[in-house]
Structure 1
Amino acid sequence: MDETELSSCCQGCGACCGYSQNWPRFSIESDEELALIPEALVNDRQSGMRCEGDRCAALQGEIGRMTACGIYDVRPEVCRTCMPGDAECAMARRKFGLPVIEAA
Structure 2
Amino acid sequence: MTDIDPGFDCRSCGACCAYSADWPRFSTESDEALDAIPPELVSADLSGMRCENERCAALDGTLGEAVSCRIYALRPEVCHTCLPGDPECTMARAARGWAPVAA
- Fold agreement, TM-score > 0.5: yes
More helix by share: 1
1:39 lines up with 2:60 in the alignment: no
Over the aligned positions, Cα root-mean-square deviation in angstroms equals 1.1
Equivalent residue number for residue 67 of structure 1: 67
Aligned-partner Cα distance in 2 for 1:24–1:57 = 10
Using structure 1 for the length normalisation, give the TM-score.
Answer: 0.91
Aligned-partner Cα distance in 2 for 1:95–1:88 = 11
The CA deviation at 1:46 is: 0.3
Q: 5+ residue gaps in structure 1?
A: none
Letter in 2 for 1:100: P
Letter in 1 for 2:55: R
Residues 25-52 of structure 1: per-residue CA shift (max 9 Å, x gap):
0000000000110000000110000000
The CA deviation at 1:97 is: 1.6
* Consecutive aligned runs of 4 or more in structure 1 exceeding 6 Å deviation: none
The CA deviation at 1:99 is: 1.3
Q: 5+ residue gaps in structure 2?
A: none
Aligned-partner Cα distance in 1 for 2:99–2:81 = 20
Aligned-partner Cα distance in 1 for 2:56–2:44 = 14
Using structure 2 for the length normalisation, give the TM-score.
Answer: 0.92
The CA deviation at 1:96 is: 1.2
Aligned-partner Cα distance in 1 for 2:70–2:45 = 21
